[in-house]
Amino acid sequence: MSKNDKIQLVLSIIGFIFIVTILTIAFRSKWHEDKMLEAGSIHADAIIINIFSSRGKPVIGYTYTVNGNVYKRNTRYKYPGGVSIGDTCEIIYATEDPSISKLLEDSNEYIIIRPKAGNTY
């Protein structure tokens, strides 16, 4: 095996380890958030503050307030439905860490939007 082949092999192994580490951290973070929400969560309202696309998938930005503290989250959604900036949506947040939250979805995996004042559905 030549010196260049050895260098390429070492760099490939380092790259593989790096990618596996990043994926592990991402999955553990999501798992941790899900466990925190399962351990105890509270329903609240959130306001949609932005909607954008990241790598072709919609990302919903929302804000909510707990005990006077304002939290902001961006969450990727497969089916954002008819969500618009300014809409009020339902969320749950973790009782132990209110910064952990998620938008609630209906049975069709669409984000649950609260009716605007004066509108009836």
Residue spans per domain, the chain = 1-39, 40-121
Question: Is the CB of residue 37 less than 8 Å from the CB of residue 94?
Answer: yes
Q: What confidence score (pLDDT) does residue 113 get? A: 86
Highest mean pLDDT among 3-7, 55-59, 86-90: 86-90
pLDDT tens-digit profile of 60-90? 999 999 999 999 999 887 766 678 899 999 9
Residue 49 clears pLDDT 70, i.e. is over it:
yes
Closest CA to 60 of 111, 115, 114: 111
Q: Could you tell me the two tokens for 96? A: 């132990």
Mean pLDDT within 104-108: 85
Count of C-beta atoms within a 10 Å radius of residue 103 = 21
Question: Is the CB of residue 87 less than 8 Å from the CB of residue 47?
Answer: yes
